[in-house]
Structure 1
């Protein structure tokens, strides 16, 4: 598969809230199921002054809303891999993913290691079971059989819908469409067979997250061929609002 990029990809697929020149490292964030880049924007105010933030936009949302959604996990993973390369080149960076984005971050990191290009200095996965055991019913939330109202309730509960969207039926419809597209992609997930990753791996998990299995840290440890760290944080799948707002402060690789 080619790593070449179209000329407009970086403009639409990589969002940099800080626009920081001369950063010592960059925190590159991959989205979770149904999410755009919005939940990560406030993190630009949390990271250290010399840390840049690059938010990877999947097709069909944000600046790429005119593009077709990816239809399979491999298609989205390849798109994300190319976009990460376009965002960082050969500069130092830490790759982060939350929930479905944690699996995506692991997949991207393992693809880049296999290709020997633009490998992250560290990988951080948040609120996700280890991918090597494959997709299980426990991971399939929200579910494709959920009604639109059930999906909206889930998104409202976890603070995934901005205030300006709540009163706009067209934007709510778009939010549901994005969620359903991501659910369809997630449900095609198959483990890529990688033995693991050699860069430092940090796993973050909510102490009250009922989705994460009790042995998930041990499962992730098996995939860490280099340094490994596990941190349990207050709250559920999206932690507490306070923890989420300051989540980058818990990332060891950018807080040394």
Structure 2
């Protein structure tokens, strides 16, 4: 079935909105349906989505890696992107960040990814909403005044470090239009890590209006969850805490 779907998408050149959902007979609400892992090649010779496409919502499919047609050349008008990618690297994230019209991004990933200098290269210039449902994030100013953007999966070596006193200087603006940010927070990092992972670095996001933090409570006690919530509120009092119990 998926193979036929991929073939059919070669045809509609004027398509501007594409959303795929999992629908089970007798179930009306599909929002909680588990995504399936793609078993066919979305990289077939000659495959490409219409350049006019503006909305691409493929959250029901898990891609093992970033498809090559996700870039500003193939999809120059793309404004909304939802895609679950298992393995991605810095170059993949940079490619997404350079898409000129991108305004809404939902990007679950199993990878730990860092863009080492996000401020000076024009990434995510029009982005208004960014949801990272599986990643803990941090914006960190480096010694050369550049800004590193980290997405951490909770399993790899943590890319965060201690924030030095010198880092409290004025930070350059990144993602200048970002109004909404959604991210994950692993409670166990409060006890298992010596890194300064609470201070996310939101001072770089000057247009930010709302932050939602999904708190991962796995292997944590009630008191540890409460401690994590209090610590997050201490640094970012505009966050909305949505506990995510597993």
Q: TM-score range by the shorter chain?
A: 0.3 to 0.5
Structure (1 or 2) with the greater strand fraction: 2
Please report the TM-score for the alignment, with normalisation by the length of structure 1: 0.33
Please report the TM-score for the alignment, with normalisation by the length of structure 2: 0.34
Query: Which structure has the greater CA radius of gyration?
Result: 2
Structure (1 or 2) with the greater helix fraction: 1
